[in-house]
Structure 1
Amino acid sequence: MILVTRLNGSVFAVNPDLIQRVDSTPDTVITLVDGAKFVVTEPLAEIIERVMAFRARVVATAHSLEESGPGADVLELPHHTTEPTTPSDTDGELPAPVPLHRRRP
């Protein structure tokens, strides 16, 4: 998911795999494959950069899984937080990662 900002300042996430196109007319409009449209504050170039970074992370994660071999059943992804969300988060420690299991063929 990539984070984008509506014109009213609210931030939301978009699945880049569902983006059909991005227009700059002069506002940036993201059109999804289902026809939904979102007007966002980020310029066209920034949306493209965020999509490219998202795809690079997906490829890097897949490559990491391939290198770890068939014995690696669990992938732990770090949680990224910018601000504490609860009082227990203020001690500087992140919550334990959620284990993700590979699908079996």
Structure 2
Amino acid sequence: MIKLTGLDDKKFVINADHIEKLAETPQSVITLTNGNKYIVKESNDEIIKKVIEYKRKIYRGDFK
């Protein structure tokens, strides 16, 4: 799960394994595998970094 910020400044989490597509228009639009879309304040590069860090924690077994 990764933490993101919506345009209303509210924080929420998304299951990174369900991200199908990222687009910048200019905000980042995340499309999930079920078709749901979320517009967030983080850039695509920031989202990718969060996903990579999440995956690293999973593979290391670091669940803190």
TM-score, structure 1 as length reference: 0.58
Seq. identity, %:
34
Deviation at 1:25, TM superposition (A): 1.2
Deviation at 1:46, TM superposition (A): 0.2
**Normalized per residue, which structure has more strand?**
2
Largest Rg, 1 or 2 = 1
Alignment of 1:2-21 (within 5 A): 2-21=2-21
Give, in whole Å, the separation in 1 of the partners of 2:49 and 2:21: 14
Give, in whole Å, the separation in 2 of the partners of 1:29 and 1:53: 20
- Structure 1 stretches of 4+ with a deviation exceeding 4 A read none
Alignment of 1:13-92 (within 5 A): 13-61=13-61, 77-78=63-64
Which blocks of at least 5 consecutive residues in structure 2 are unaligned? Answer: none
Q: CA RMSD in A?
A: 1.3
Which blocks of at least 5 consecutive residues in structure 1 are unaligned? Answer: 65-76, 79-105
TM-score, structure 2 as length reference: 0.94
Give, in whole Å, the separation in 2 of the partners of 1:23 and 1:57: 25
Give, in whole Å, the separation in 2 of the partners of 1:3 and 1:33: 18
For these two proteins, the number of residue pairs brought into alignment is 64
